[in-house]
Amino acid sequence: MQLTANFTLDELTRTTTGLPNVPNRSERAALLALAEHVLQPLRDALGQPVLVTSGFRSTAVNRAVGGVPSSQHRSGQAADIHVSGMTAMALARRIVALGLPFDQLIEEFGQWVHVSYGPLQRRQQLIAVRREGRTRYLQGVT
């Protein structure tokens, strides 16, 4: 099922866990909103593919990958993305510079960008780093 010109429901629900990962109606609506308001405008601005490594997560998938129960991946509001040839930090900064209406943006471990879209639109910007085996969040990506 095509959500926008370049994003499908399939790629936003893909999982390597082998567990069921089927969004309900409101979770599908959240994925569509994320694609329409953030992912597709980003893809259009960059002119190159935005690869989604993790989008929606069912309760079982979220548990299997160690996600917190309150994760916005659970509700279909978040995706982890990367773009070939761009560092995660450059991608995060580009999303801010474009003025996309994200809720939360996290540059995670220099590897990928977690971006969410939701009603709060906090425009929260964080950098996730691992220190002494624990994840810490630093303020700001710019």
Contacts with Zn ion by CB under 5 A lie at 80, 114
Of 28 and 114, CB closest to Zn ion: 114
Q: Classify the C-alpha dihedral 7-9-12-14 as positive or negative.
A: negative
Nearest-approach distance from CB 1 to Zn ion, in angstroms: 22
Q: Assess contact for 83 and 51: CB atoms under 8 A.
A: yes
CB 11 within 8 A of CB 54: no
Q: Which residue is nearest to Zn ion (CB)?
A: 114
Q: Is 31 exposed, middle or buried (0-12, 13-18, 19+ CB in 10 A)?
A: buried
**Of the two residues 28 and 107, which places its CB atom closer to Zn ion in the complex?**
107
**Nearest distance from C-beta of residue 46 to Zn ion, angstroms:** 19
CB of 54 to Zn ion, least distance (A): 6
CB closer to Zn ion, 82 vs 94: 82
